[in-house]
């Protein structure tokens, strides 16, 4: 890994920073720069680091390709990068926002089709018709096999609602950033997809070539039958999720020198959470998933530590470079089944540049860690950026683009938003919309998308 080549060098710089070789002013800035960078890159040096997704909990960041590590100032700074608290134009800022995110991966429409056809009843009907099949039974067999084969090729439905409240006072920050990842996915036993049914002690297998039901042994039934897999919960619908709040107390400090401006910030946060973990029948309607989740809840509380860094060169004061590491201590939440959901460290890099007396801003963010979602096999590592333009003091327009480097099913994601200022109050709306499509009840839906509305009050 390329990062590993830099760790010995940074380690030496850390040791040097704690010796008497350097003069006092340079020693102070050395400590500020190399110690946090070394600590973050140690986290990055492990190839197995995974975490939940870095959610764009800011209308500005959401609409600018998810970029906020170097540009999300004010009351959103405790979440994106606490070092940004040292860069403020308004002494006080409050915000309240909320929204919803969705990822659909080859699941919702298939699950509802299984619900509508009632796969268990369909298999019973096929068994009772053995060894002869009616035209209706043949249709049921074909449809059942098609849906199950589609589901076995990877699937998932993920909802990500959130609400946030934030407060910035000078270079202090506080907030309640409530977020969740609730997922449902079908676990289909790939070895048991044959239509083999049992009726009154006899076992019948559907012959696709002859379009008939032929008698087989019990061993064949156990080894290959979808009916057996359903009855034994080898094929099932898995519901899993975590809803938690980050309640940080954040602080940032600014260092000015001839080498540039260095900001370092940190957050200590309480993280009350609610976990979900349950297996249910695969033909449960997608609209019933929320009710099923209520029966699988467990409350737990964790805590987390974030560290952020921001740098501006003395000759390029409108250009900022940011780096943030979240959840450095890997907060843990227990589930009702005895499993543990871990929120592993997230590391993200960002940069931003303002033009024309801050009327135009360009920003870019990139995940440096590969983030794991609750859908098996679906990973998240985004890169994205965009622009924000303020043609007037009362109006702003933003746009951007982002891409998941590890999940092509998310597609290219277009982002945009609008902001309106009335006196001290700003009203923002933003959205993200994937070019890839999923399907639900016969209608196209974005494979990935977010929507957010926010209110920001500044003094």
Report d(CA 144, CA 122) in Å as an integer. 9
Q: Could you list the pLDDT tens digit for every one of the 459 residues in the chain?
A: 444 444 444 444 433 444 444 444 444 444 444 444 444 444 443 333 335 788 888 999 999 999 999 999 899 999 999 999 999 878 899 999 999 998 877 666 566 666 666 677 777 777 777 777 666 666 776 777 776 666 655 567 788 899 999 999 999 999 999 988 877 777 778 888 888 888 888 898 887 777 778 889 999 999 999 889 888 888 888 877 788 899 999 999 999 988 999 999 999 999 999 887 778 777 666 566 566 666 667 889 999 999 999 999 999 989 999 999 999 999 998 888 788 888 889 999 999 999 998 999 999 999 999 887 777 777 889 999 999 999 999 999 999 999 999 877 788 999 999 999 998 999 999 999 999 887 666 677 788 899 999 999 998
What is the pLDDT at residue 42? 41
- Entry pTM: 0.77
* Bridge partner list, 183: 158, 240
What is the pLDDT at residue 53? 81
Query: Residue 67: phi, psi to the nearest 5?
Result: -85, 125
Structure-token pair, residue 361: 């801003």
Question: Could you tell me the domains of the chain?
Answer: 2-43 (no CATH), 48-103+156-185+239-458 (2.40.160.60), 108-152+189-231 (no CATH)
| 302 contacts 288 by C-beta, under 8 angstroms | no
What is the pLDDT at residue 135? 65
What is the pLDDT at residue 293? 61
């Amino acid at each position: 890994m390329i990062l590993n080549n830099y760790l010995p060098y940074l380690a030496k710089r850390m040791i040097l920073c704690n010796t008497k070789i350097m003069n006092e002013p340079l020693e102070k800035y050395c400590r500020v720069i190399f110690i946090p960078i070394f600590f973050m890159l140690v986290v990055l040096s492990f190839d197995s680091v995974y975490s939940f997704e870095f959610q764009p909990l800011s209308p500005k960041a959401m609409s600018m390709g998810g970029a906020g590590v170097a540009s999300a100032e004010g009351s959103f700074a405790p979440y994106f990068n606490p070092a940004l608290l040292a860069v403020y134009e308004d002494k006080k800022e409050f915000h309240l926002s909320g929204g919803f995110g969705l990822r659909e991966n080859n699941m919702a429409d298939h699950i509802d089709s299984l619900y509508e056809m009632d796969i268990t009843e369909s298999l019973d009907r096929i068994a009772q018709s053995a060894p002869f099949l009616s035209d209706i039974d043949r249709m049921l067999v074909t449809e059942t096999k098609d849906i199950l084969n589609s589901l076995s090729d990877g699937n998932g439905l993920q909802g990500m609602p959130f609400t946030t409240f934030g407060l910035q006072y000078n270079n202090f920050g506080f907030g309640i950033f409530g977020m969740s990842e609730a997922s449902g996915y079908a676990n289909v036993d790939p070895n048991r997809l044959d239509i083999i049914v049992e009726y009154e002690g006899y076992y019948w297998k559907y012959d696709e070539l002859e379009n008939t039901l032929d008698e087989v042994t019990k061993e064949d039934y156990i080894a290959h039958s979808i009916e057996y897999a359903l009855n034994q919960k080898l094929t099932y619908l898995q519901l899993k999720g975590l809803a938690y709040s980050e309640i940080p107390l954040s602080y940032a400090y600014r260092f000015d020198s001839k080498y540039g401006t260095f900001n370092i910030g940190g957050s200590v946060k309480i993280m009350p959470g609610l976990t979900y973990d349950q297996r249910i029948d695969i033909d449960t309607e997608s609209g019933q998933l929320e009710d099923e989740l209520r029966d699988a809840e467990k409350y737990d509380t964790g805590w987390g530590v974030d560290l952020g860094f921001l740098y501006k060169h003395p000759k390029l004061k409108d250009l900022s470079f940011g780096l943030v590491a979240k959840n450095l201590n890997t907060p843990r939440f227990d589930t009702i089944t005895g499993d543990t959901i871990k929120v592993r460290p997230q590391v993200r890099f960002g940069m931003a540049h303002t033009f024309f007396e801050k009327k135009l801003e360009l920003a870019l963010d990139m995940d440096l860690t590969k983030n794991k979602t609750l859908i098996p096999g679906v990973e998240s590592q985004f890169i994205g950026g965009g622009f924000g333009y303020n043609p007037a003091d009362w109006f702003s327009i933003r746009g951007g683009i982002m891409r998941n480097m590890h999940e092509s099913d998310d597609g290219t994601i277009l982002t945009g938003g609008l902001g309106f200022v009335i006196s001290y109050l700003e009203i923002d709306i933003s959205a993200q919309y994937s070019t890839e499509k999923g399907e639900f009840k016969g209608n196209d839906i974005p494979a990935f998308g977010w929507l957010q509305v926010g209110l920001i009050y500044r003094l």
